[in-house]
Structure 1
Amino acid sequence: MTMAVGPLAVAREHLAKMLSADEFAPGARLPTERDLAADIGVSRAVVRSALDELAAQGRVVRHVGRGTFVAPRQETFIAGEAVYPSPAEIMTSRLVLEPEMLPVAVASATHSDLLEMRRCLAGGEAAHTSEEFEHWDTMLHHSFAVATHNSVLIGASQLLIDSRRQPVWGSLKKRTFTPETRQCYCAEHAAIVAAVEDRDPDAAREAMRTHLRHVRINLLGP
């Protein structure tokens, strides 16, 4: 008996084939969600979920009002081998960049941006595994950058996402993931979102800084 394939799986397969085609090289713009939904035969919500997954994986970059693009290749190569930044370098970069994005997001976030933050927040709260939580954690942090409506800041956020696509980062996050950690991170995420919704740039910046310092201690120690 052949099992039915769900619409999200169909959308994933279609997009995977599309990204492997020569037509869609790094930097190429993908068709709109509406066109993709019509081509695949699924709803726009399903297409959006599949594209969200690809964005979290660093395979596409999504810009509000501009569309979805194939992500550039960010790896650095030395002697033919990919070289990734260390977890310490990643956390230092995040502490420098992400808190300072928040005042811009506070000033620029639309109602749609706020809804996306809440969607990602709910996804993280419902996550049960390290992989599920990492997906929604990545999506939420990127939603703050997207809310700035600044292509440079959005690109910087995407670069931070790309830097985490490595086994060392994944294993470190998985090793330090506990129900207590998830609960604490979710509370910190909620504080950031609430500050953005309140249009309080100082509170949003400080909430992000507090959260990232906590993440750094959990991952790397005091």
Structure 2
Amino acid sequence: MRGAEPRNNSSQRVFMSSGVKAFEQYLSDALGSGRLAPGDRLPPERSWCEQFGISRGTVRRVLGRLRERGLITQIKGSGTFVTGTVQDHADDGKLYTSPAELMEARLLIEPLMPALIVKNANAHDFRGMEECLLRSEQAESVQEFERWDGELHRSFAQATHNSLFLHILELTNRVREEAEWGRLKRQSLTPERMRQYKDQHRAIYEALLNRDLNEARAQMLRHLEQIQSNLFDG
């Protein structure tokens, strides 16, 4: 916003994430309620950027997901048009969660786990974490790394010995298997970032192993914030 005070990096990430979430929610509500009906033309990308404070690349990614779901069509030189409604394309009983929603929830939930891990984890739990950690460190492809990354975070949930966290992480991994998450991860996960994630995983594990709650929580939050920034800020 013009004239606003500059934000620090953390505040900027939160602002961008909230803008993405607001944009996705607006489109979902408009398509679901009929405010945007088949045949309607959507405003240009520039207006979305100004309204929600997001980048043009973010707008294109969100619209691309709607296009893949058959809800809009984009005609070069003419614009973007609504071709269906959310109800028309609802998947029976399937809960749709966007990558932005997933990261928003993870930032709230996963930093809570270290308190229970430090309190409840046993030797078997730490062996499971270490196995996932080693497999992820040895991964050479994005697909292999993503698999063991998911398993590592699942092992964190298991080590809480609280079934609610395990259920939440199972849902998280289901979203990570969706095409949208995979596409974003492939676009954002450079070799350098993969190395950074591996280092961050190791730091989280070491802090948990040492029963250092404050350090484990800080490392977990730092890791999730970087994932969010890499996925949505380019």
Q: Which band: TM-score by shorter chain? A: 0.5 to 0.7
Task: Provide the aligned length of Structure 1 versus Structure 2.
Answer: 146
Report the Cα distance in structure 2 between the residues aligned to 1:149 and 1:83, rounded to whole angstroms. 26
Aligned to 1:191: 203
TM-score, length-normalised on structure 1? Answer: 0.63
TM value normalised by structure 2: 0.60
Q: Which residue of 2 aligns with 1:124?
A: 136
Cross-structure match for 2:190: 178
1:94 alignment partner AA:
R
Cα 1:130/1:146, change in 2 over 3 Å: same
8 Å CA contact 1:84–1:166 kept in 2: the answer is no
Hey, what does 2:233 align to over in structure 1?
Answer: 221
In 2, the alpha carbon distance for the partners of 1:114 and 1:83 equals 32
Cα 1:78–1:150 change in 2 (3 A) is farther
Mapped partners of 1:180, 1:193: distance in 2 = 20
Matched with 1:114 is 126
**Any unmatched runs of 5+ in structure 2?**
1-85
Q: CA deviation at 1:200?
A: 1.0
SS of match in other structure, 1:199: coil
1:208 equivalenced with 2:220 (yes/no): yes
Is 1:153 paired with 2:165?
Answer: yes
TM-superposition CA deviations, 1:115-148 (whole Å, max 9, x none): 1111111111100100000001000001000001
Paired letter, 1:110: N
CA contact (8 A) 1:124 1:132 kept: yes
Residue identity matched to 1:198: N
Name the % identity: 39
Instruction: Indicate the structure (1 or 2) with the bigger Cα radius of gyration.
Output: 2
Supply the distance in 1 between the matched residues of 2:197 and 2:177 (Cα, whole angstroms): 20
Q: CA RMSD in A?
A: 1.5
Secondary structure of 1:128's partner?
coil
Task: Give every structure 1 segment of 4 or more consecutive aligned residues whose post-TM-superposition deviation is greater than 3 Å.
Answer: 77-80
Q: For residue 183 of structure 2, give the secondary structure of its aligned residue in structure 1.
A: helix
Give a deviation string over 1:151-179, Cα, whole Å, max 9, x none: 11111111111222211101111111221
Partner of 1:103: 115
- Aligned-partner Cα distance in 2 for 1:205–1:189: 12
Give the partner amino acid of 1:203.
E
Write the distance in 1 (CA, Å) between the matches of 2:196 and 2:159.
24
Q: Report the Cα distance in structure 2 between the residues aligned to 1:161 and 1:78, rounded to whole angstroms.
A: 25
Contact 1:130 1:177 in 2 (8 A): yes
